[in-house]
Amino acid sequence: MATDREGAGVPFQEPARLWSVDEANRRLDDLRELLPQMRAWVVRLRKVHDELHRLSTFWGREIDAPDHPDRGLKHRLDEEWRELTRQLEEKVDALRGEGIEVKDLESGLIDFYALRDNEVVFLCWQRGEDEVAFFHTLDGGYATRRALSESGARRAPPRSRRGL
101: enclosing H helix or E strand: strand 100-104
User: pTM of the predicted model, to two decimals?
Assistant: 0.76
Q: Is residue 133 part of a domain?
A: yes
Three-class SS state of 114: strand
Kindly state the percentage of the chain with pLDDT values over 90: 71
In a domain, 11, yes or no: no
pLDDT interval class at 16 (50, 70, 90):
confident
Q: Is residue 7 part of a domain?
A: no
116 contacts: CB under 8 Å, gap ≥ 6: 135, 152
Instruction: Tell me, yes or no, whether 56 lies in a domain.
Output: yes
In a domain, 3, yes or no: no
Q: What range does the domain containing 39 cover?
A: 17-153
Does residue 164 lie within any of the structural domains?
no
Q: What is the pLDDT of residue 11?
A: 54
The verdict on residue 158 lying in a domain is no
Least confident of 12-21, 79-88, 108-117: 12-21
Q: To the nearest whole number, what is the mean pLDDT of the chain?
A: 85
Domains: count for the chain: 1
C-alpha 13/C-alpha 40 separation (Å) is: 29
Question: Does some domain include residue 110?
Answer: yes
